[in-house]
Amino acid sequence: MKWFRFLFMLLALWLGMFQCLDVNAQEVVVNGHGISREAAMQDAFRQAVEQAVGTLVDSQTRVRNYAVLTDDVYTKSQGFIREYSILSEQYMDARIVIQARIIVDSEPNSQLMTILQRLQMIDVGLRDPRIAVIVTEHYNRPLPDPVAESAIINQLIEAGFKRLTDPNRLAHIRRSDAIKAVINRGDTATAIRLAATEPLDYLIVGEAFSEYAGYGPGHSIISCYARVETRLIKADTGEIIAAQGFQSGGIDVTELAAAKASLNNAGKLAGKFFADKLMTYAANPEKGLRLKVVAVNDYAVINLLGRLVREQPGVSNVFLRDYQQGTAMFDVNYIGNPAILAERLEKMPELPVKVNEISHSVIVVSMR
Extents of the domains making up the chain:
2-124, 126-283, 286-367
Looking at residue 368, its amino acid is: R
Q: Average the pLDDT over 333-360 and give the result.
A: 90
Give me the pLDDT at residue 2, please: 44
117 pLDDT tier (thresholds 50, 70, 90): low
Residue 100 pLDDT more than 80?
A: yes
Mean pLDDT for the chain? Answer: 81
Residues 6+ apart with CB under 8 A from 14: none
Q: Which fold has domain 2-124?
A: Endonuclease I-creI (3.10.28)
Q: Average the pLDDT over 281-287 and give the result.
A: 68
Q: Average the pLDDT over 57-65 and give the result.
A: 53
Query: What architecture (CATH level 2) is domain 286-367?
Result: 2-Layer Sandwich (3.30)
Residue 28 pLDDT more than 90?
A: no
Q: What CATH number was assigned to the domain covering residues 126-283?
A: 3.40.50.10070
State the pTM of this model. 0.63
Residue 87 pLDDT more than 90?
A: yes
- Report CA-CA distances (Å) from 328 to 240, 301, 324, 338, 361: 22, 11, 7, 18, 16
190 pLDDT tier (thresholds 50, 70, 90): confident
User: Which of 157-161, 213-217, 269-273 has the highest average model confidence (pLDDT)?
Assistant: 269-273
Give me the pLDDT at residue 79, please: 65
Give me the pLDDT at residue 346, please: 95
335 pLDDT tier (thresholds 50, 70, 90): confident
Contact 190, 205 (CB under 8 A): no
160-181 exposure pattern, b = at least 16 Cβ within 10 A, e = fewer: bbbbbbebeebeebeeeeebeb
367 pLDDT tier (thresholds 50, 70, 90): very high
